[in-house]
Amino acid sequence: MFIPVRRNFSAGGPIYHSSIIFLAINAYFWYKLVMSVLERRTWAKIDLDIFKNNLKHIRDFTNAELLIPIKADAYGHGSCELARVAEEFGVEYLGVAGIEEAIELREYGIKIPIVILSPVFDFDIEDIIYYNVIPTVSDIDFAKNLNDYLNKMSKSIDIFIEVDTGMGRTGFLYDVAYGKIETIKNQFTNLRIKSIFSHFSTAEDEEDDFALTQINQFKELKRKLIQSGLTDAKFHISNSAGMVRFNDPEMAIVRPGILAYGLYTSENMKKYIDVQPIMSVYSRISRIANLNKGDSVSYGRRILDRNLKVATINIGYGDGFPHCLSDKGYVAIKGKKSKIIGNVCMDLTMVDISGIDNIRVGDIATIINGEITADDLAKQCNTINYEIITRIGERVSRIYYENGKPIKVRTIASRKIHNKL
Ligand SMILES: Cc1ncc(COP(=O)(O)O)c(C=O)c1O
């Protein structure tokens, strides 16, 4: 592609040009220096610009409010930094799985509503109130205890209520949900019912109409609850797959997680919306050895059936690089795919680099990016792309890029230790 360059001839002249060159050289060496400090053993690049773009595409796709699940360390990307970007972007809610995740975000300075999407416990009540977090209520005893506690303080809070329309996991069972919600509405007046939600179990499978049954049941409940006076609550059911498949105007909120991180749960989702992965992962070669036919590699001794040039890479299952990739996964080195030889170890993995020239210790191996995707790793391990990205370990430094530049790094060296118990 040809990109025209605007030139400012009036500012020309030898001094001007040499200072530009001087600055460019300086910037280049500064960049190299910064990257040598950041890109050390194994690291993940988290592209916040792509994250914003994914959020924009989601925003353009739906008229509903956005609740972005930021749980499980934002699916492995780093919850604080992603929450900060999501907040600046203007998403309406963030979703977490437990109070500890909510506290981390509040202590980081996140101000927008945070919803705990999973059930909470009586021992979480104090923190829920102190940190101004929205709990999901799916148990009537919990609702009563929360209400009593608030009553004593003469306070009230927003709550979400979950209904189980077929996920078989959490929420009031569909058959009793109406009665339970009526009880909460009429008797537990310190709880403001902000929203009622349910969750799909098979939305990505368009052949399967169970999702339709779920959404129809949920809308039926919605009609009954509105008739009985619950007119302010927002109803929602869609995760990423549900959002693109139904895009239902009756639903006031959507909760797309995996899409916000740039991955799809099925091929057919790609026709609805364009998102890109925001995480890529890299590691470094720490040894190169010419091994002979009959030599062995890694735990369990993989015996080589021919001479191989083998590179050792500093990533292992301790970094979330799955052991199930042993003898079948690939990394990319100098743009070429290198097959894993033998078992993936906790910290190290060996790959075949026979036929790839000019490789040196310290060179970079691409673990996830471009032609090697989280979907590929998931397929080889018979798991889902969610698990691959979410399990990229804490030991893998996260380098955050914004406006095309590295702006922040999170390493285990900066992990806080609370000594005072
Ligand atoms: C209640 C709830 N809503 C939304 C999501 C987001 O799902 P997805 O990442 O498939 O969009 C999850 C994820 O597990 C969830 O548990």
Query: By the 8 A CB rule, do 194 and 181 touch?
Result: no
Q: Which of 260, 288, 319 is the last residue of a domain?
A: 260
Amino acid letter for position 242: G
Question: Is any atom of ligand 1 closer than 6 Å to the C-beta of 147?
Answer: no
pLDDT tens profile 167-187:
999 999 999 999 999 999 999
Q: Is residue 71 part of a domain?
A: yes
81 and 215 in a single domain? The answer is yes
108 is catalytic: no
255 and 287 in a single domain? The answer is no
**Residues near 123 by beta carbon (within 8 Å), at least 6 away in sequence:** none
* Domain extent for 391: 279-413
Q: List C-alpha distances in Å: 16 to 6, 13, 19, 183.
A: 16, 5, 5, 76
Q: Give the residue, 18 or 96, on which the prediction is more confident.
A: 96
Pocket test for ligand 1, best of 196, 239, 269, 278 (most atoms within 8 A of CB): 239
User: What confidence tier does 20 reach under pLDDT thresholds 50, 70, 90?
Assistant: low
Question: Is any atom of ligand 1 closer than 6 Å to the C-beta of 69?
Answer: yes
Question: Is any atom of ligand 1 closer than 6 Å to the C-beta of 117?
Answer: yes
Look at residue 14 in the predicted model and tell me its pLDDT. Answer: 52
Question: Is any atom of ligand 1 closer than 6 Å to the C-beta of 256?
Answer: yes
User: What confidence tier does 107 reach under pLDDT thresholds 50, 70, 90?
Assistant: very high
The pTM (predicted TM-score) of the whole model is 0.91
pLDDT tens profile 382-406:
999 999 999 999 999 999 999 999 9
Q: Which of 71, 180, 194, 234 is catalytic?
A: 71
91 and 158 in a single domain? The answer is yes
pLDDT of residue 4 exceeding 70: no
Look at residue 11 in the predicted model and tell me its pLDDT. Answer: 41
User: What confidence tier does 118 reach under pLDDT thresholds 50, 70, 90?
Assistant: very high
Query: By the 8 A CB rule, do 253 and 93 touch?
Result: yes
Look at residue 413 in the predicted model and tell me its pLDDT. Answer: 79
pLDDT of residue 5 exceeding 50: no
Pocket test for ligand 1, best of 137, 199, 384 (most atoms within 8 A of CB): 199
Q: What is the mean pLDDT of the chain?
A: 93
Q: Is residue 420 part of a domain?
A: no
Q: Give the residue, 370 or 126, on which the prediction is more confident.
A: 126
Q: Which of 228, 260, 292 is the last residue of a domain?
A: 260
56 and 195 in a single domain? The answer is yes
Query: What is the signed CA dihedral for 173, 260, 86, 247, rounded to 10 degrees?
Result: -60
CA distance 74 to 382: 22
Q: Give the residue, 6 or 327, on which the prediction is more confident.
A: 327
- Closest approach atom of ligand 1 to CA 259: 11
pLDDT of residue 276 exceeding 90: yes
129 and 198 in a single domain? The answer is yes
Per the annotation, binding residues are 169, 346
Pocket test for ligand 1, best of 101, 116, 117, 214 (most atoms within 8 A of CB): 117
Q: Is residue 23 part of a domain?
A: no
CATH number, domain of 325, equals 2.40.37.10
CA distance 113 to 304: 56
User: What confidence tier does 7 reach under pLDDT thresholds 50, 70, 90?
Assistant: very low
205 and 291 in a single domain? The answer is no
Look at residue 9 in the predicted model and tell me its pLDDT. Answer: 35
- Closest approach atom of ligand 1 to CA 97: 16
* % of the chain exceeding 70 in pLDDT: 90
Q: Is residue 265 part of a domain?
A: no
Look at residue 412 in the predicted model and tell me its pLDDT. Answer: 87
Q: Which of 28, 31, 108, 299 is catalytic?
A: 299
pLDDT of residue 411 exceeding 60: yes
226 and 304 in a single domain? The answer is no
Question: Is any atom of ligand 1 closer than 6 Å to the C-beta of 236?
Answer: no
Q: Give the residue, 66 or 415, on which the prediction is more confident.
A: 66
User: What confidence tier does 39 reach under pLDDT thresholds 50, 70, 90?
Assistant: confident
Per the annotation, binding residues for substrate are 169, 346
Look at residue 232 in the predicted model and tell me its pLDDT. Answer: 95
261 is catalytic: no
pLDDT tens profile 218-264:
999 999 999 999 999 999 999 999 999 999 999 999 999 999 999 99
Question: Is any atom of ligand 1 closer than 6 Å to the C-beta of 42?
Answer: no
pLDDT tens profile 332-360:
999 999 999 999 999 999 999 999 999 99
Q: How far is the CA of 342 from the centre of ligand 1 (A)?
A: 35
CA distance 205 to 71: 24
Q: Is residue 30 part of a domain?
A: no
Query: By the 8 A CB rule, do 235 and 252 touch?
Result: yes
71 and 199 in a single domain? The answer is yes
Q: How far is the CA of 239 from the centre of ligand 1 (A)?
A: 5
Copy the structure tokens of residue 320: 């979330």
The count of structural domains within the chain is: 2
Q: How far is the CA of 9 from the centre of ligand 1 (A)?
A: 54
323 and 213 in a single domain? The answer is no
Q: How far is the CA of 69 from the centre of ligand 1 (A)?
A: 7
